[in-house]
Chain A
Amino acid sequence: MKMHLDEKIWLTISFGIIMGFMIITGYQAFAQGMSPPSGMETIDPQKVDQTAPFDNPGVKEIGDNKYEVVMTLQAFGFTPNNIEVPAGAEVTFIMTSKDVVHGFEVAGTNLNAMVMPGHIQKITQTFDKPGSYLVICNEYCGAGHQVMSTTITVK
């Protein structure tokens, strides 16, 4: 295959860029624990209310400024809603859907996860900056999708 020197250089750089992305992604995922939310546990989607921990959704303090939020998503709301946590809190969200596919996104943070019926999704975030954070459903879920929102207030 006849290739010009310029093209060889270009393709070497191209390959390097792709490998660079791979290395950084892998390092962040496995060394820094920043891999994307990948909850592997399952649940009967029609018995969410009877299954622990979702029979008792809410905010629980589980350690020194560490919180756990057990949350159900349903057209068109989040339970619990209007959550309050102190500044610096590390919050783990444990979520499932009671009906269709929903998305859990907190604008201005890296919190973003798909919440599917039958699957339990987990994602953690430390809220350092006080303020009102907007929580929205970012997967189309029906006629009231645009009103499916709540807030997290960090004090």
Chain B
Amino acid sequence: MKMEADLKVGIKEKANKMLGYHPQDAKLSKSYIAVAFIALLVGGFLGLLQGLNRAGLLELPTWFNYYQVLTAHGLLLILVLTAFFTIGYFYATLSHNLGGLLPKVRKLAWVGFFVKLVGFVLAVIPILMNEASVMYTFYPPMAAHPVFYIGLALIVVGVWLCCIGAFIQVANWRKNHKGQHVPILSYFATGVFVLLFFALMFVAVEVLFMILPWVFGWVDGINVMVARTLFWAFGHTLVNIWYLTAVSAWYVVVPKVIGGKRWSDLLTRVVIIALVIMNITGGFHHQIIDPAINEIVKFMHVFMSLAIGFPSLMTAFALFAVFERTARRKGGKGLIGWWKKMPWGDVRFLAPFIAMVAFIPAGAGGIAQTTNQLDQVVHNTMWIVGHFHLTLGMSVVMTFFGISYWLVPFISNRVLTPQINKLGVIQTWIWTVGMICMSGSMHYVGLLGSPRRTSYSTYGDHATALGWDPYLTLLAVGGTLLIIGVILQVYAVFNMMFFAPKGETEFPIAEEEENATKTPYWTERWGLWIVLMIIVVAMAYVIPLTDMIVNAPPGSPPFKTW
């Protein structure tokens, strides 16, 4: 009996080793993913409240007003959902690819987990008390309760700990595997953690050295332009961190799911390097109509931002080429006929596929917004909200959903059942229709001038504002569909985590083509990429920041206008 049991355990361990499954690491990732999807559930409901308010259908009570709801919605979905998912996913990747997490790395990630949770609770309390209705951008001189900023600082520290953990893990692997390439998905993880590490420095300087001394009353005034510029150096990079996370699954996981091979390993790594080097400077396009930045700097930044588009256009080609090649290999014929050979009924393919398609209009909208004059038309209108619900809400989050249908079973030692797969397919279509309605109407009503971050208002029944109403109603219809999608998705995740049948699930990583050329070793020179990144950041930021500091007006005192 005992022998049999031992044998069983032995077989299981062997199978786990083959699959790259490490129970302690899985528990870590499971905790991160669980928090991410709880954030989705709560944040999603808050989003619904906003949508109904914007359509004039729901008046929010004074003790939980529109701007409190909006601040919490942004914090939950932009910080908690994305950060916890990204870390959970990439720590599972590092564990799988690199032979399990080192004990100290695992410990760092756990400490980071709790530091982030404490930080999040500290940030939320003042929001609920209406002491921090400042949005997730918290532009000074609006000043929230100091506890809000302390909470944010702790979230930053928590993410940093995870970055450092990832660096230790990768460095250790490289030391023991001299001359080898870091496996591709871990290479993506390295890029993401490098970007996170450096991007967070900007917001850390803003919060620790500018805002906290000012809200505590140690200094009288704050330089509003410097604070805002530091925020966007972080803010836009964060956007591209989510995007790079989603792209990792497009390049590496989706080809495996459809039974194909990866696109050129070298080109994939070049895309990652390009995104890491060029990313941070993209933040300036959030400030195209700001004062205190001259026209020449603004023009230079059009280039800095558009440059990020190039690796994305490389990605677009690579992915559709993989689809066509795979489908033709399976007997697909004709100019469009090969489409029939794609696994449309498999949620692990369908969700990220729609996410990719959504990135075509989303990326085009991004390019439009980056150019000076076009930005001026849509800046701070609902168009922008539509844009990031298309990019984050569709391209990124739908990819995360698609990942969840194999990642959650993998880390839970369970399997994806046909029923949950079917539920996922239905969820994907509901989400798609909901996002098209919501994001589409947001884009259009934004072109007509409807502002973002504004509770329902007819502006004294002005004809222009009344003309926005039909689109805002369509927005609410989309938002209602999306909450159904949220509920289905969260149900699927927790079902797979705790109730699905036990069994082994593969971590899907596609192979290279058989005749692939060998990737040169220079792609591993992270030190060089980081130096290049710092040079690009310096080129972009030194002149305008110096100008803002040297020619600064007297600082602004704190204001509480809510």
Contact = CB atoms under 8 A, between A and B. Distances in A.
Interface size range of chain A in the complex? 35 or more
Contact of B292 (A26, A113, A119, A139): A119
B221 to A, nearest CB: 8
Most buried by A among B264, B451, B462, B552: B451
B141 A119 contact: no
B554 interface: yes
Interface string A24-52: 11101110001111111011111000000
A105 B381 contact: yes
Contact of B267 (A1, A24, A36): A1
Nearest to A35: B295
B517 interface: yes
Interface string A106-144: 011010111111111100000000001110111111111
B371 interface: yes
A119 B288 contact: no
Interface in B214-234: 224-225, 228
B34 to A, nearest CB: 32
Nearest to B314: A11
Contacts of B313: 10-11, 14
The CB with the most chain B CB atoms within 10 A, among A7, A118, A120, A134, is that of: A118
Contacts of B290: 38, 114, 116
B135 interface: yes
B137 to A, nearest CB: 9
B306 interface: yes
A36 B369 CA distance: 13
Interface string B292-310: 1111001100110011011
A62 interface: no
Nearest to B467: A107
B500 interface: no
Given A21-B302, A44-B553, A143-B561, A112 B142 contact: no
Nearest to A117: B556
B417 interface: no
Q: Which bracket fits the contact residues of B?
A: 35 or more
Interface in B104-126: none
B548 to A, nearest CB: 10
A140 B302 contact: no
Contact of A42 (B66, B293, B457, B553): B553
B552 A138 contact: no
A23 B524 CA distance: 35
Given A14-B313, A21-B302, A21-B306, A40 B135 contact: no
Contacts of B307: 18
A38 B293 contact: yes
Interface of B: 65-67, 133, 135, 139, 141-142, 224-225, 228, 264, 266-267, 287-295, 298-299, 302-303, 306-307, 309-310, 313-314, 317, 321, 367, 370-373, 375-377, 379-381, 448-457, 459-460, 462-465, 517, 551-557, 559, 561-562
Interface of A: 1-4, 6-7, 10-11, 14-15, 17-18, 21-22, 24-26, 28-30, 34-40, 42-46, 75, 99-101, 103, 105, 107-108, 110, 112-121, 132-134, 136-147, 149, 151
17 contacts: A7-B317, A11-B317, A21-B302, A21-B306, A22-B302, A25-B373, A29-B298, A35-B373, A36-B376, A38-B293, A40-B291, A40-B292, A103-B451, A107-B449, A115-B291, A138-B379, A149-B459
